[in-house]
Amino acid sequence: MHYQLIEDQLSLTRLCEQLSKAKVLAIDTEFVRTRTLYAKLGLLQVCDGEQLALIDPLAIEDLTPFWQLLTNANITKVLHACSEDLEVFLTAGNCKPVNLIDSQIMMSFLGHGLSLGYAAMVKHFTGIEVDKSESRTDWTKRPLTDKQLAYASADVDHLFFLYPKLLAQLTETGFLGYAQLETQAMIDKKFTPLNEGEMYLNIKMCWRLNPKQLNALKYLATWRFQQAQKRDLPIGFVAKDHTLMALAQSNPLTVNAMLSLEGAEALDIRHKGKAMLAVLAKADKAEVSDYPDKIDRLDDYPGYKQIFKKVKTFLIAASERNALTIENVASKKQVNQFLTWQFDLNGARTGTAKVDLLSSWRNDLFGRDLLELAKQGYK
C-alpha cells in the first residue's frame, strides 16, 4: 500500500479525524536509543487498511491527535513486540494505550514461541520476505530516504492484513482472552513507576553485601538513576554496576582509594568520583535501623532445586491439559517469583507486587491446585 507522509499539524489533525472512525489500526514506531536513557521517537506508522500514514514527530509539535487514537477504546490497536513502543508512548506522550493487543503475544499462543519477529510472522503467513536492511537507520536524522520510508511503511502494511487471520485462529483456540490479558499485563507493568529505592536490587551479586554495604549500594544506585534521568543517559554511562559494588563493599574515603579498588572502573571514578564520595558520606549518616535487610537467596533455601523441579513438572502438566505451551504458562523467572513469595523471602509477602502464577488467567487455570501442592509440601 502506498504511504502518505504527514509533516504538519493540520495534516495530522485531518488524518486522525479520519482514523478515529476505524475499527482496527496497525501501529508501529521507529526510534533511536543508543546514548540516551529514553528512546528518541523518530517516526510513527499507522494503517487502517485504506490509508497508510507515516507521521514525522520531529516536524509536528503537538502529537495529541495521535495520542487520542491510542486512548480511544472503540479502536483496536495492534502492534508487534510492542514493549519498547510502550516506553515511547510513555516518555513522548505520557499516553497509556487502551484496547491494544500485541501480535507477537498472539503468535505465542498459537505455538510460535515468545519472541517471533515481525519478518518471521509475515513470512509464515504470506511467504513474503520483509526487507530489514534499514533496521539500523538513525530515525532522528532528516531527510529520510524513500527506501527508509518504504521500509517503515511495511511494518504496518502487512500487520493490518494479518491481524484478522491471527484473530480468527486465536478465537478458534479459545486463547484470545489470554493474549489480551498478557498484553494488558505488559502495558500495566510498563506504566508502573519505577521505585528508585529498589534499584540496587537489580545489581548482580548484591546478595553478597551486608546491610551496611547494601545501604551504601542503595544510595549509589538511587543517585545513579537520578543522574541518568537528569542528563538523559543510559545508567551504565553514569557509572557501571561493578563500580557501585566495589564502592559499596569498601566505602573508600578518597578518590585515590577508589582508584585502587578491584572492580571499580577508572573512567567512572575520574568523572564521578567526588560525587560518589558525597553519596557514600550521605549513606554513612543513615540510621542503622534504616539499613536494608541482608538479601536471602532463593538458591540457598533448603530443597529449592527439588521444589523448583516439582513446580515445573506440575506446570508442564497444567499446560498440556489446557493445550498450551509451557513457555506461555510460566518462565523460570515466574516460577522463582512464586517460590520467593511462598517462602516469604526478603519480605515478599508484605510487598504489593502480584505473583504472576496466582494472577489473571493463570490463577483461573491452576492457581488453587498450585497452592494446594505447596500446602502439601510438594509431595
Query: What is the share, in percent, of the chain residues with pLDDT greater than 70?
Result: 100
| Residues 103-115: tens digit of each pLDDT | 999 999 999 999 9
Are 217 and 204 in contact by the 8 Å Cβ rule? The answer is no
The verdict on 257 and 327 lying in the same domain is no
6, 29 contact by CB (below 8 A): no
Beta-strand pair 100-102/76-79: parallel
Q: pTM score, two decimals? A: 0.93
**What was the pLDDT predicted at 41?**
97
Lowest mean pLDDT among 127-136, 331-340, 360-369: 127-136
Instruction: Report how far Cα 262 is from the mean position of its chain's Cα atoms.
Output: 32
Is the pLDDT at 23 greater than 80, yes or no? yes
Per-residue model confidence as pLDDT tens digits over 241-287: 999 999 999 999 999 999 999 999 999 999 999 999 999 999 999 99
* 118 a catalytic residue: no
Q: Give the mean pLDDT of the chain.
A: 96
Q: Tens of pLDDT along 284-312?
A: 999 999 999 999 999 999 999 999 999 99
Q: Which three cell numbers stand for residue 354?
A: 502480584
Is 30 annotated in the active site?
A: yes
Of 96-105, 132-141, 193-202, least confident by mean pLDDT is 132-141
What is the reported pLDDT for 95? Answer: 98
Can you give the residue range of the structural domain that contains 217?
A: 196-290
Q: Which amino acid is at 62?
A: D
Q: Mean of the pLDDT values across residues 131-153?
A: 92
> Of 48, 56, 85, 265, which residue is the catalytic one?
85
Res 131 pLDDT > 90: no
pLDDT tens digits, one per residue of 161-202: 999 999 999 999 999 999 999 999 999 999 999 999 999 999
pLDDT tens digits for 33-49?
Answer: 989 999 999 999 999 99
| Residue 353 confidence class, pLDDT cut points 50, 70, 90 | confident
270 & 285 share domain:
yes
Q: Are residues 105 and 233 in the same domain?
A: no
Residue 331: which pLDDT band, with cuts at 50, 70 and 90? very high
CB 351 within 8 A of CB 332: no
Number of structural domains in the chain:
3
Query: Does 92 share its domain with 165?
Result: yes
Same-domain check for residues 171 and 78: yes
Residue 161 sits in the same domain as residue 120: yes
Is-catalytic flag, 151? yes
CATH of the domain at 267: 1.10.150.80
Residues 245 and 339 both lie in one domain:
no
Asked if 344 is an active-site residue, the reply is no
**176 and 309 both lie in a single domain:** no
Last residue of a domain, one of 290, 317, 338: 290
Q: Of 165, 173, 172, 80, which Cα lies nearest the Cα of 125?
A: 165
Same-domain check for residues 223 and 356? no
> ω before 143 within 30° of 0 (cis)?
yes
Residues 186, 253 within the same domain: no
∠229-233-235 over CA atoms, to 5°? 80
**Is the pLDDT at 352 greater than 80, yes or no?**
no
275 and 335 together in one domain: no
Name, in order, each residue with C-beta under 8 angstroms of 241's C-beta and a sequence gap of 6 or more. 203, 204
* In the predicted structure, residue 335 carries a pLDDT above the cut 90: yes
Instruction: Check 48, 102, 118, 151 and give the catalytic one.
Output: 151
Choose the catalytic residue: 48, 56, 102, 155: 155
pLDDT of 46: 98
* Biggest CA pair distance of the chain: 67
Res 68: pLDDT:
98
**Separation CA 234–CA 35 (nearest Å):** 6
Of the candidates 28, 182, 268, 356, the residue annotated as catalytic is: 28
Percentage of the residues of the chain whose pLDDT score is greater than 90: 94
- 3-state SS, residue 279: helix
Q: Which pLDDT band holds residue 134 (cuts at 50, 70, 90)?
A: confident
Q: What is the pLDDT of residue 170?
A: 97
Of the pLDDT bands very low, low, confident and very high (cuts 50, 70, 90), residue 350 is confident
The pLDDT, as a whole number, for residue 135 is: 79
- Residues 21, 170, single domain; the answer is yes
